[in-house]
Amino acid sequence: MTHRKFEARGLAVPSGRISRLARFGTMATGIAGGMLVDGARHLARGEKPRASDLLLTPANAMRVTRQLAHLRGAAMKIGQLMSMDAGEMLPPELSEILGHLRAEAHYMPEKQLRAVLTLQWGKNWMERFESFPFTPIAAASIGQVHRARTRDGRDLAIKIQYPGVRHSIDSDVNNVASLLKMSGIMPKDIDVVPMLAEAKRQLHEEADYTREGQCLARFGALLEGETAFVVPRLHEDLSTASVLAMDHVSGVPIESLVSADQEVRDRVMRLLIELLFRELFEFRMMQTDPNFANYLYDTTSQRVVLLDFGATREFPEEMTEQFRRLMRAGLDGDRAAVRAACLDIGFFTETTPERYQNGVLDMFALSMEPIRNGGVYDFSNSDVAMEMRDMGMALGAEREFFHIPPMDTLFLQRKFGGVYMLASRLKARVDVRAAMEAHL
């Protein structure tokens, strides 16, 4: 597994409940102090600022970013998801600064890392390795990745979870939710309990490396023998609930193909779009995280490398059939049938105001643009991904009508949006309709 080069420094992860709570306390105190200073400035100018305006300042956002980056785990993960998936609900300044969390790369210092691995593998674990560099090749919100070679010759990528992450998920989610509630950026009449429950469930799944290893192995089996994709092989003898060992697979970042030949870009995106429909309709199991870092390209074998299966979800057969009906109605341009399918799926209800329903239907019609017209679709001349984002922002602004559809559909939308975004980034040309019709 080859990862982006990053500038990083060792910074111990607060693993205890008290130490993590103290970090949130420090963050809240710093924010409150910033609000007092900013409030005094506004009053000196004869202005009467709102509390939310004082909270959502660049300085306070930077305080949040630093503390979430230090905490890592669920706290940092939610900050990343806010910047990636909920940007339409945040002021531009906050969205931009929270975006820095995706580039943060603190990692465990050697002493803490040794303690974690001794707990997982036993005190003589180093005897199993020919080499084990203590500086990781990648660091993220829940864990960090090391490239190591075992004494029996295996070249491995080993993902190691930060200590305390699994046990701090529920409290971290609640604390971040409290910050959101303080900010006033969430609609007051929205029941966030299902969203918080889902966030906790997803994060618990992502923090369970045993489950991720099983998903990795299942995807490997589903794609076994195919020449277009490679899934790293799981090494169970070194894997635990907090450590995931797999083959190290070489590749370049997928978005670096922006400078590759048009033929290469077209082929790669065709493969990924075909895989998307296979995941939904054939496998009924999807890796739902659209982060570009989850894909590499092996320039030697010309295969797409698939990484990170922590966000894998299984879909019930009923849901895939609902989406088949939705896609068929979209291809036929039958707006009434599209509306019926959207009601069936739960994008809105019969009591949802017509204006909001029409907004959802218009957004779906836009998403069908690359599919409805047969033949090759040129994503280089398309603003579909950005237009969909703008429409999503407009719908999000309809706070009195705000409706949360079933969580599975949100993850599916997220994946489709990410694939469209990558296709636009690579300026690819793909016959999307042919890729989908094979499953209808």
Hey, which residues are catalytic here?
Answer: 289
Q: What element of type H or E holds 144?
A: strand 143-150
Say whether 158 sits in a helix, a strand or coil.
strand
**CA–CA distances in Å: residue 294 to residues 86, 251, 291:** 20, 11, 6
Give me the numbers of helices (H) and strands (E) for the chain, helices first please.
17, 13
Contact 432, 424 (CB under 8 A): no
Buried b (16+ CB within 10 A) or exposed e, 116-150: bbeebeeeeeeeebeebeeebbbbbbbbbbbbbeb
Contact 433, 379 (CB under 8 A): no
SS3 402: coil
Pairing of strands 285-287, 252-253: unpaired
- β-pair partners for 304: 229, 297
In Å, how far are 26, 56, 242 from 70, measured between CA atoms? Answer: 12, 20, 19
The CA–CA distances, whole Å, from 105 to 52, 102, 185, 276 equal 30, 8, 28, 29
Backbone angles phi, psi at 144, to 5 degrees: -130, 160
Cβ-based neighbours of 188, under 8 Å, separated by 6 or more: none
Q: How far is the CA of 117 from the CAs of 9, 84, 204, in angstroms?
A: 19, 32, 21
Among 404, 284, 414, smallest CA distance to 346 is for 404
Which are the contacts of 380, defined by CB distance < 8 A and separation ≥ 6? 424, 427, 428, 429
* DSSP codes joined into one string, 38-88: HHHHHHHTT----HHHHHS-HHHHHHHHHHHHHH-HHHHHHHHHHHHH-GG
| Single-letter code of the amino acid located at 77 | K
> Torsion angle, CA of 423/429/431/433, rounded to 10 degrees?
40
